[in-house]
Structure 1
Amino acid sequence: MLPYIIAPNLNLPVRPLTQDAFAEFGTVVENPVNATGRSQQPKVVKANQGSALKYIDVSHVSNFYHLAPSGHPARAVMNMFVCSPRQLQPASSGSDITQEQTSKFPVQILERHPFTPQTFVPLGLAAEDATTAYLVIVAPTCRTTDRPLPYPQHAPKQQRSWTEIFSRAQPSPVDHSTFSSSGSSPEPQLPKGPGEPDLSRACAFLANGSQAVTYGPGTWHAPMVVLGAKAIDFVVVQYANDVGLEDCQEMEIKTETGSDGFNVVIDSARLGPKVHERAKL
């Protein structure tokens, strides 16, 4: 039986997926030239005989399994999730928007991966596709000192040797770049705390085919929610050690009797009429 929490009566609006808005939860991976809502640009160098721009460290795939209770080592894994479109439900009549214009997606489960980030890369979905999109639903972690589930316990920091300190100052032995920028790549995120999801501060974002997303280690998130006409193939990159509760922890979202529960409210003007209509079928 899954652990659960009781959802407040909460309707989340959908926001565009931008790096600045999503920074607390992870990283948005996209071409910085086309990106909006990004206050810092990643570092960039020319590559491939000047025919390409290489953006440095646009996201981080870190491994925190050395902090796992089992001690089982992890390996880098690449899986594919073929995510079918979800059906939307009519929004409650109390909404400011008419039911013809808005729908809702009930959030019934959240999950996290306490020792690894997880990156979802959509395949074959164009940014301008007017028939299919996907939702990214996340929640911060409540502060607590209780650890009912396996979670990283940081080892004391070790002092670096003089050899390591001086080696970090040495230039890279190979550098084929002909140009570089003064941009700033995102810092790797540390695991969140061991607490439950804080539904009162949850967020929902709408993503298109030009955007991949990295959930930071320990970030509570909903399983991928595809909306519209067709399934989306996601390549998913993370670390795993095949120990169930160290790889994935789930939390069921239950609703009190008479309550609408925890929903993402989707306005057709935000989603696009074609995606919205197909998601309601």
Structure 2
Amino acid sequence: MSADAQPLAIEALTREAFAEFGEVIEAAGAAQSYAINSGTTQRFHDLATVDTGREDGRTIVSIFRAQPRELPFVVSMLERHPLGSQAFVPLGAQPYLVVVASDPQSVPRAFLAREGQGVNYRAGTWHHPLLALEAVSDFLVIDRAGPGNNCDEAELPRQWLLLRQS
């Protein structure tokens, strides 16, 4: 761990706080919800904008299995996908961290995702790769496949330290 890493506050993941970077995918507070299937199911409608069609891209669905990270954790890089959005929906109840930034030179923001919250990064949003906590965690991932370079990585000019919350 770098001695000169700057502490980075971890915020609660809310729609309002995350709006600059994409959407929070959760049933709570959905703009539209209604009963379907003869009233046996509640549909929480249109929670995120999936954007994968640039440069002949297509939408794919995958499962990512993330190894848990220990805190404190040093954030030293970010990545982005310029040709498509990328959604992560946890398939379990474990918390995870979401780290995003306007660009690699800006101060990143860290969010703690609670049970039932996924995220959809807009195309081009700088973010850290998956940061599962506590246990191996599976995520349903909706993103882009196709031609073109759809992954940029950047080393950060300074390191940021994620600390265990008290």
1:115 aligns with 2:71: no
Q: Deviations over 1:181-235 (max 9, x none)?
A: xxxxxxxxxxxxxxxx2432x210011231111111110000011121x200111
- Which TM-score applies when normalising by structure 2? 0.88
Q: As a proportion of its length, which structure holds more strand?
A: 2
- Match for 1:58 among 3, 26, 47? 47
User: 1:45 and 2:34 equivalent?
Assistant: yes
Q: Indicate the residue corresponding to 1:251 in structure 2.
A: 154
Name the counterpart of 1:199: 106
- For 1:148-159, what aligned pairs fall within 5 Å after superposition? none
Once the two structures are TM-superposed, the CA of residue 9 in structure 1 deviates from its matched residue by 5.2
Aligned length: 163
1:64 Cα deviation (Å)?
4.7
Q: Which of the two has higher C-alpha Rg?
A: 1
Aligned residues: percent identity?
Answer: 36
Q: Does 1:240 align with 2:152?
A: no
CA contact under 8 A between 1:111 and 1:220: conserved in structure 2?
A: yes
Tell me which protein shows more helix as a share of its residues.
Answer: 1
Poorly superposed stretches of 4+, deviation over 4 Å: none
8 Å CA contact 2:105–2:157 kept in 1: the answer is no
Normalising by structure 1, report the TM-score. Answer: 0.54
Larger RCO, structures 1/2 (Cα 8 Å, 6+ apart): 1
Residue 82 of structure 1: aligned partner = 65
Which segments of 5 or more consecutive residues in structure 1 lack a partner in the other structure?
1-7, 36-40, 67-72, 89-103, 127-131, 142-196, 256-260, 270-281
Contact kept, 8 Å, 2:25 with 2:48, in 1: the verdict is yes
Name the amino acid aligned to 1:20: E
8 A contact 1:14–1:266 mirrored in 2: no
Deviations 1:239-267 (A, max 9, x none): 22143xx2111112355xxxxx3222332
- Cross-structure match for 1:221: 127
RMSD across aligned C-alpha pairs, in angstroms?
1.9
* 1:13 correspondence with 2:9: yes
Unaligned runs of 5+ in 2: none
Mapped to 2, the partners of 1:266 and 1:21 lie a distance apart of 21
